[in-house]
Amino acid sequence: MRIALDAMGSDRGPAEMVAGAALAVREADVRVTLIGNEHEIRPAMEKEGISHIVDLVPTTQVVTMHDSPIEAIRKKIDSSIVVAFGLLKRGEVDAVVSPGNSGAVMAAAIKFLGRLKDISRPGIAGVFPTLKGPVVVMDVGANVDCRPKHLLQFGIMASAFSRVVFGVENPRVGLLSIGEEGGKGNALVKSTHGLLAASVLNYIGNVEGRDTFQGDVDVIVCDGFVGNVCLKLSEGLAEAILTMLRDEISKTMKAKLGYYLAKDAFMNFKKRVDYAEYGGAPLLGLNGTGVICHGRSNRLAIKNAIRVADE
């Protein structure tokens, strides 16, 4: 599998992206092509010792987080995001991974790859850990303003993703709302409830935010505004809990001893809630494979995002 990695989109800089690529090519049967500023990327490749196994396509422009997505892909044609999806369109790579401006990534993906048949809007499928197994939440940021038919399509795509990637035979689909009753929610949720209920999906009805991590549903459907808030809130809560635990453990000798005895359990918990372990979120609905990562992704997150793209 040939993966194009946008090395210029991360808050941590190209060197961290190169380190993530190095982990990926050493652990999996993938070929990575780094896209970006050669003067910054080449020294990092030499430091990691991967110049002979990783390709580099140099670019001269960078799409920032402050750029307008449409303007960026129209004017910055030699940016790492645009060039990466151009490679995918021409069949020179099999997938694109980017930690850059998500709006620009989506715009470039649609421009170069197009949508799948009957899909109005591609979306971002986030994978959340639960008490029983992963839950796919869609959309988590690509589409802020949606219509009921868009949410129905998110349910169809996320259900297919859950079935194929996680092996769930008949994924249970829930609609995120402020109450379990079908009459609860705003106009969008109420209209979508009827569409999902009439579909061939295994629709179990409305679910509330507290149900996200219980594991009783395999797919949760929502618009990108709500989904992104859920994503960022969940990540922030996980980080806060880990910080609080560290603070409490450091206060007394008894707590430190308890941590020593339960260290493996604490490390396993950290691994379950760490976003870096999940790598990136796939863009579903495209006529091709694209994965969006956090802007602050570290090398572990990039390695796992490449793994997700490979899968």
Residues 235, 140 contacting (CB under 8 angstroms): no
DSSP bridge partners of 207:
176
Residues 191, 151 contacting (CB under 8 angstroms): no
Q: Which of 199, 107, 194 is nearest to 158 (CA)?
A: 199
Residues 54, 21 contacting (CB under 8 angstroms): yes
Residues 115, 78 contacting (CB under 8 angstroms): no
Amino acid 276: pLDDT: 65
pLDDT digits over 5-25, tens only?
Answer: 999 988 899 999 999 999 999
How many residues can be counted in the chain? 311
Amino acid 272: pLDDT: 73
pLDDT digits over 60-106, tens only?
Answer: 999 988 889 889 899 999 999 999 999 999 999 999 999 988 889 99
Q: Where are the alpha helices (DSSP H) in the chain?
A: 14-27, 38-48, 69-75, 80-89, 102-113, 148-166, 187-197, 224-249, 253-261, 263-273, 299-310
End-to-end CA distance of the chain: 9
What are the residues whose beta carbons fall under 8 Å from the beta carbon of 150, sequence distance 6 or more?
120, 121, 123, 143, 223
What residue ranges of the chain have pLDDT lower than 70? 274-277
Amino acid 65: pLDDT: 86
**pTM, rounded to two decimals:** 0.89
Q: What are the tokens at 298?
A: 């570290």
